[in-house]
């Protein structure tokens, strides 16, 4: 079954990762809050699909659970997929978060002998949209999303930017962390 699948640039992500150097910058009505955090991300191998008998995609699934250091409470919960299209050698990414937001992002990757860099973005054109609830569109709209992963053997560093329109202004909601592969 899955042992025969070549996951290409997604292969090095498969497994469970933890990291406690997270820093979140989130909007507040009068400014911003900076939240140190720790998290676990589990990437699981899955399968492949063929769309319209034409487009083959290989995919892995993940779940990310993030806790605020100051309270140990989960304050971000995300799940979705990373996909690789062998024919075009492009990657894409889809996920949802329980604020009423679904993201479909396109991207590319580079690999050399030391590390892989995966970059995806959404909201920069109509074909790769961010879908959100009416409440979020009115009150806390996400207009852009960029995520960069750098994977070096058992280390994963990421940075991400969510462009928001909230509290009557534009805000760059940002996150970064460094994780280690634990199994
Ligand atoms: C490590 C990942 C993330 C963390 C730790 C995080 C954390 C936060 C925090 C602390 C807030 C402020 C409101 C609150 O206290 O709940 C917030 C707001 C928000 N986040 Fe995130 N976030 C993350 C990722 C994302 C992603 C990937 C998206 C969308 C693609 C997103 C979209 C939003 C939006 C739209 C808001 C505004 C809602 C509000 O402030 O009431 N976040 N986030």
Would you say residue 46 has pLDDT above 50? yes
CA 112 to centroid of ligand 1, rounded, Å: 33
Instruction: Compute and round to an integer the Cα radius of gyration of the chain.
Output: 17
Contacts of 160 (CB under 8 A, 6+ apart): 145, 146, 147, 148, 174, 175, 176
Cα–Cα dist 1/67, whole Å: 35
- Which ligand 1 atom sits closest to the C-alpha of 142? 35
What is the model's pTM? 0.96
What would the mean pLDDT of 105-119 be, rounded to a whole number? Answer: 95
Would you say residue 2 has pLDDT above 50? no
CA 176 to centroid of ligand 1, rounded, Å: 13
User: Is residue 179 lining ligand 1, measured as CB closer than 6 Å?
Assistant: no
Do 132 and 92 contact (CB within 8 A), yes or no?
no
Catalogue all structural domains in the chain, each as residue range(s) with its CATH number. Answer: 2-181 (2.40.128.20)
- Which ligand 1 atom sits closest to the C-alpha of 130? 30
User: Is residue 167 lining ligand 1, measured as CB closer than 6 Å?
Assistant: no
- pLDDT band at 114, cuts 50/70/90? confident
CA 76 to centroid of ligand 1, rounded, Å: 7
Q: What are phi and psi of 73, to 5 degrees?
A: -85, 145
Quote the pLDDT of residue 16. 98
Name the residue of 99, 159, 166, 179 whose CB sits within 8 Å of the most ligand 1 atoms, as the mutation to test its pocket.
99
pLDDT, mean over the chain: 97
Nearest residue CA, atom 17 of ligand 1? 26
Cα–Cα dist 171/25, whole Å: 10
Cα–Cα dist 8/20, whole Å: 28
Cα–Cα dist 130/79, whole Å: 15
Q: Which of 53, 45, 111, 113 is nearest to 83 (CA)?
A: 45
Q: Which of 34, 49, 51, 35 is nearest to 81 (CA)?
A: 49
- pLDDT band at 113, cuts 50/70/90? confident
Cα–Cα dist 45/3, whole Å: 9
CA 7 to centroid of ligand 1, rounded, Å: 30
What would the mean pLDDT of 16-27 be, rounded to a whole number? Answer: 98
Would you say residue 81 has pLDDT above 70? yes
- Which ligand 1 atom sits closest to the C-alpha of 177? 1
Cα–Cα dist 181/40, whole Å: 10
What would the mean pLDDT of 52-76 be, rounded to a whole number? Answer: 98
Name the residue of 76, 139, 157 whose CB sits within 8 Å of the most ligand 1 atoms, as the mutation to test its pocket.
76
């Amino acid at each position: 079954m899955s042992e025969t699948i070549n996951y290409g640039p997604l292969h090095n992500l498969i497994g469970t990762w933890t990291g406690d150097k997270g820093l979140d910058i989130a909007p507040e009505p009068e400014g911003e809050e900076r939240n140190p955090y720790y998290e676990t991300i589990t990437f699981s191998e899955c399968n492949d699909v063929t769309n319209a008998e034409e487009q083959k995609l290989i995919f892995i699934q993940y779940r990310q659970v993030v806790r605020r250091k100051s309270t140990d409470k989960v304050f971000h919960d995300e799940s979705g997929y990373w996909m690789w299209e062998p024919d075009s050698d492009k990657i894409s990414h889809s996920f949802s978060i329980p604020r009423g937001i679904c993201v479909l992002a396109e991207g590319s990757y580079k690999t050399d002998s030391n590390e892989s860099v995966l970059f995806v973005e959404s909201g920069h054109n109509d074909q790769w949209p961010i879908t959100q609830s009416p409440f979020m569109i009115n009150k806390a709209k996400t207009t852009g999303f960029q995520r960069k992963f750098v994977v070096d053997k058992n280390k994963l560093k990421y940075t991400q930017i969510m462009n928001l329109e909230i509290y009557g202004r534009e805000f760059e909601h940002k996150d970064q962390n460094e994780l280690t592969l634990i199994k």
